[in-house]
Amino acid sequence: MTQPFFADIAPVQYEGPDSANPLAYRHYNPDEIVMGKRMEDHLRFAVAYWHSFAWEGQDPFGGQTFVRPWHPQDRMETARIKADAAFDMFDILGQPYFCWHDADVRPEGDTFAESLSNLTAIIDYFEEKMASRKIKLLWGTANMFSHRRWMAGASTNPDPDVFAYAAATVKTCMDATHRLGGENYVLWGGREGYETLLNTDLGQELDHMGRFLNMVVEYKHKIGFKGTILVEPKPQEPSKHQYDFDAATCIGILRKYGLEGEVKLNLEQGHAILAGHSFEHEIAVAAAEGMLGSIDMNRNDYQSGWDTDQFPNNVPEVALAYYHILKSGGFTTGGTNFDAKLRRQSLDAADLIAAHVGAMDICARGLKAAAAMIEDGGLETALKDRYAGWETPAARAMLDSDFDSIFDRVLSGDIAPEPRSGRQEILENYVNRFV
Ligand SMILES: [Mn+2]
């Protein structure tokens, strides 16, 4: 038996803002009450299996940099060693949830049946480990983008055999998620898009995706899964044109296929940035439609313009995201997942712990700042003031009238708009008092 991967690292404790210990929480204090609720219950942190344990450090110019005790990852023996290390890290961090894709946790088999048997054996192993711990499953998902069979998409693949393989794969991952008591099931359409219209029937592919999502919901009800089905928007990478571009696009697709009451969104900061949006924009769009489900709190590099999946480290950005989450009532089945990976030179076990400790602290600071802004009410008062004109009976009646009667009012000289300041700098200065 080799030395456990995290052998020298003790469980991380909350030591307060003055602690200089790099492996202590300085802001994440699970039992601290924020707006009447425990911090842990607000944030609902999850650690992702894929970037932390499955990713080997490759980038477009170079191969593996991480050499872990669970490499190579193509056999069941190392999958169990990987699970041991993952649950050791969950014990060290003490976060309440984790997440996985099928491909992260089990080796690919030569056949579908062999892959399923590998998955079942690992889910058995997870079940055993979860029985003696408090850790829960935030969500499970299927990786339908890495293997070459998915190169032209999963549910949107022009080959019906790939659609079938995708359906069977999602069924097995939903079964496994349900078995582990998962609180959500996520669909990230990694290659649900296209490279060129020269070979793509866009309308047919969208219809197939709509039917596939309906099958997911039908199966959820059939097996009695009580969790939430979530779709994760992303605008590009891997497909040049992704059908699930951003929150607004996904909401349109979900409505088109009658899924608005059944499916919510898992929003990622990095994907928001790739779509040219701020994270709070994506959260506010989903919240306005009642479709805010869960978040992946990992950012991209603003200079490189591609998906770098870095751990969060910017309190003002994170604070505005949590402001909109708290404003919409907070998470129900969702949570804060770190779909984030180390930099490829960060080789040590301690780097993996430090990355999560820092991210959880940043989020805790952001949450506290957001809660303070909500409790102070300054932004809400400013918003109310800006829209106060709509409180008048004449303004309200206008929405129930028509162009002709509005035209008559304007022509009679009753209406003379006078521009008012948007007060953006004053509001930005206000936010800076809290972050
Ligand atoms: Mn993500």
pLDDT for the residue numbered 178: 98
365 neighbors 319 (Cβ within 8 angstroms): yes
Q: Are residues 253 and 400 in the same domain?
A: no
What is the sign of the dihedral through the CA atoms of 260, 44, 271 and 103?
A: negative
Average pLDDT over residues 384-400: 96
Instruction: Determine contact, residues 300/273, Cβ cutoff 8 Å.
Output: yes
Rounded CA-CA distance 234/187 in Å is 11
Cα(380)–Cα(200) distance, integer angstroms:
46
Q: What is the pLDDT of residue 56?
A: 97
Q: Are residues 79 and 224 in the same domain?
A: yes
Overall average pLDDT of the 375-383 stretch: 98
Statement to judge: residues 127 and 244 lie in one domain: yes
Average pLDDT over residues 368-394: 97
Task: Tell me if 346 sits within 8 A of 307, measured CB to CB.
Answer: no
Res 302: pLDDT: 85
Residues 250 and 394 reside in one and the same domain: no
Distance 296 CA to ligand 1 centre (A): 5
Asked if residue 228 lies in contact with residue 174, where contact means CB atoms within 8 angstroms, the answer is: no
pLDDT value at 367 more than 60: yes
Q: Say if CB 334 and CB 294 are below 8 A apart.
A: yes
Pick the catalytic residue from 27, 51, 102, 104. Answer: 104
Ranges 163-172, 232-241, 407-416, most confident: 163-172
Question: 348 lies in a domain?
Answer: yes
C-alpha 314 – ligand 1 centre gap (Å): 18
Cα–Cα distance measured from residue 219 to residue 225, given in angstroms and rounded to the nearest whole number: 8
Is the pLDDT at 374 greater than 60? The verdict is yes
Per residue in 18-52, pLDDT (tens digit) is: 999 999 999 999 999 999 999 999 999 999 999 99
Could you tell me the distance, in angstroms and rounded to a whole number, from the CA of residue 394 to the centre of ligand 1?
46
d(CA 428, CA 435): 11
Q: What's the 95 CA to ligand 1 centre distance in angstroms?
A: 18
Average pLDDT of 333-349? Answer: 97
Single out the residue in 354, 376, 398 at which a domain terminates: 376
Q: How far is the CA of 181 from the centre of ligand 1 (A)?
A: 21
Is 77 inside any structural domain? yes
Residues at Cβ < 5 Å from ligand 1 ion: 268, 296, 339
CATH number, position 323:
3.20.20.150
Report the share of the chain in percent with pLDDT over 70: 100
CA 176 to chain centre: 20
Distance CA 353, CA 12 (A): 9
Can you tell me which residue has the tokens 């009753």? 414
Q: What is the pLDDT of residue 227?
A: 98
Query: Domain check: are 187 and 251 in the same one?
Result: yes
Question: What range does the domain containing 390 cover?
Answer: 381-432
The catalytic position among 27, 51, 101, 281 is 101
Phi, psi (rounded to 5 degrees) for 402: -140, 175
**Band of residue 410 on the pLDDT scale cut at 50, 70, 90:** very high
- Amino acid letter at 326? L
Asked if residue 426 belongs to a domain, the reply is yes
Query: Are residues 280 and 165 part of one domain?
Result: yes
Domain presence at residue 17: no
Does 211 fall in a domain?
yes
Amino acid at 160: P
Residues 279 and 419 in one domain: no
Mean pLDDT of the 317-339 span: 98
Q: Identify any residues that bridge with 187 across adjacent strands, giving them in sequence order.
A: 231
CA of 192 to the centre of ligand 1 (A): 15
Q: Which of 376, 406, 422 is the last residue of a domain?
A: 376
Amino acid in position 429: N
What is the model's pLDDT at position 414? 85
- Give the pairing type, strands 336-338 and 292-296: parallel
> Is 217 a member of any domain?
yes
Residue 329 and residue 198 in one domain: yes
* 26 half-sphere exposure, CB direction, 13 A CA radius: 13
Does the pLDDT at position 303 exceed 70? yes
Is 356 annotated in the active site?
no
Same-domain pairing of 399 and 283:
no
Residue 2: per-residue pLDDT: 65
What values do phi and psi take at 100, rounded to 5? -150, 160
SS3 139: strand
Q: How far is CA 398 from CA 33, 198, 413, 415, in A?
A: 44, 48, 16, 12
Q: How many whole angstroms from 268 Cα to the centroid of ligand 1?
A: 5
| Count of structural domains within the chain | 2
What is the pTM for the complete model shown? 0.97
pLDDT band, very low/low/confident/very high, at 125 (cuts 50, 70, 90): very high
**What rounded mean pLDDT belongs to the chain?**
97
Q: Is the domain of 317 the same as that of 418? A: no
Q: Kindly give the distance from the C-alpha atom of residue 431 to the centroid of ligand 1, in angstroms, as a whole number.
A: 27
Reply yes or no on whether the pLDDT at 399 is more than 70: yes
Place of tokens 């480990």: 129
Q: Which pLDDT score, from 0 to 100, does residue 373 have?
A: 98
* CA angle in degrees (0–180, nearest 5) for 217-221-227: 80
Asked whether residue 9 is domain-assigned, the answer is no
Domain final residue pick, 376, 397, 419? 376
pLDDT value, residue 306: 87
Indicate whether 258 and 159 sit together in one domain: yes
- Residue 104 among the catalytic residues: yes
Within this chain, do residues 372 and 385 fall inside the same structural domain, yes or no? no
AA letter at 398: M
Residue 229 CA to ligand 1 centre (angstroms): 15
What pLDDT shows up at residue 417? 95
Residues 159-215 pLDDT 10s: 999 999 999 999 999 999 999 999 999 999 999 999 999 999 999 999 999 999 999
- Residues 73 and 54: beta-carbon distance below 8 Å: yes
- Alpha-carbon gap, residue 171 to 220, rounded angstroms: 9
Question: Does some domain include residue 12?
Answer: no
CA 96 / ligand 1 centre spacing (Å): 18
Judged against a pLDDT cut of 90, whether residue 78 lies above it is answered with yes
